């Protein structure tokens, strides 16, 4: 007869399954039970922080991740996760500090390099951001996010042909990545290639669904391509979905 599975192990398994299946509230509840049962489990605190972050609970996520770091101060991934939460909550300088701490422990952690680049990008420190994105791409040749971020950096710099190349690289790695399709559309639009921009935005629309911002981009591209009727149709939808944005 098999021995019963310890409750903590059972909770961890159930929480992990729920997390991977996208049942975030179930996962959150299970991780909370787990950290109550095993308060010194750094893994449980880290995973609770990730789920809370995905649920938009950034303060709770930061608390849980700091507890994970307290329990396991040499785990680079925990610092990288904390950096991602801090960047999302616009704590950009702390995010840079946390990302650099992660990299001081594990210099080959591509997500930490990418988060470092994003925080620097949002602070307008383009040269440093580029170095971080390039480093992330070199560490993980299949890491789509760093290439997307290079595309966004080049769009901001109005280096649209380079942005196009990075967006295409991203889509090759992740064909159904809506953000990369939008970046490709922006790169085409910046080069006055309105038909290509329209097709890229339509692809993004099919992948992520409608939003006022995306509809507005598509309307402008269609107008530039000479399709006034479709441009008006999408502009009308943009007005309904986000009147303040269009105004």
The closest alpha carbon to 70, from 101, 36, 46, belongs to: 46
Question: How confident is the model over 8-36, as pLDDT tens digits?
Answer: 888 989 999 999 999 999 999 999 999 99
Measured between alpha carbons, how far is 100 from 98 in angstroms, rounded to an integer? 5
| CA dist., res. 36 & res. 30, Å (int) | 10
CA-to-CA distance for 190 and 158, rounded, in angstroms?
7
pTM of structure: 0.91
Cα gap 231→223, rounded to integer Å: 5
Task: Kindly report, residue by residue over 196-239, the tens digit of the pLDDT.
Answer: 999 999 999 999 999 999 999 999 999 999 999 999 999 999 99
* Closest C-alpha among 34, 33, 64 to residue 50: 64
Report pLDDT digits (tens) over 64-86. Answer: 999 999 999 999 999 999 999 99
Angle, alpha carbons 124-128-130 (nearest 5°): 95
Taking CB atoms within 8 Å and a gap of at least 24, the contacts of 199-203 are: 203/178
Residues 6+ apart with CB under 8 A from 241: 210, 211, 212, 215
Per-residue pLDDT tens over the stretch 106-162: 999 999 999 999 999 999 999 999 999 999 999 999 999 999 999 999 999 999 999
């Amino acid at each position: 007869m098999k021995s019963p599975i310890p409750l903590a192990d059972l909770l961890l398994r159930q929480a992990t399954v729920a997390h991977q299946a996208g049942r975030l509230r179930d996962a959150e509840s299970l991780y909370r039970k787990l950290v109550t049962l095993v308060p010194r489990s750094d893994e449980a605190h880290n995973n609770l922080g990730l789920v809370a972050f995905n649920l938009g609970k950034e303060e709770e996520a930061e608390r849980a991740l700091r507890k994970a770091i307290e329990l396991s101060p040499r785990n680079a991934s925990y610092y990288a996760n904390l950096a991602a939460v801090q960047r999302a909550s616009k704590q950009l300088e702390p995010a840079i500090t946390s990302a650099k701490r992660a990299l001081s422990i594990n210099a080959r952690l591509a997500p930490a390099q990418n988060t470092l680049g994003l925080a620097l990008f949002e602070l307008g420190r383009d040269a440093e951001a580029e170095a971080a994105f390039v480093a992330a791409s070199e560490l993980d040749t299949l890491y789509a996010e760093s290439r997307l971020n290079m595309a966004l950096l080049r769009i901001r710099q109005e280096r649209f042909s380079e942005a196009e190349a990075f967006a295409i690289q991203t889509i090759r790695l992740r064909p159904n990545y809506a953000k990369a399709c939008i970046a490709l559309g922006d790169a085409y639009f910046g080069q006055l290639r309105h038909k290509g921009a329209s097709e890229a935005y339509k692809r993004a629309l099919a992948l992520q669904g409608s939003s006022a911002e995306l509809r507005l981009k598509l309307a402008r591209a269609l107008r530039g391509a000479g399709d006034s009727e479709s441009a008006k149709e999408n502009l009308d939808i943009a007005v309904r979905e986000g009147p303040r944005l269009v105004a």
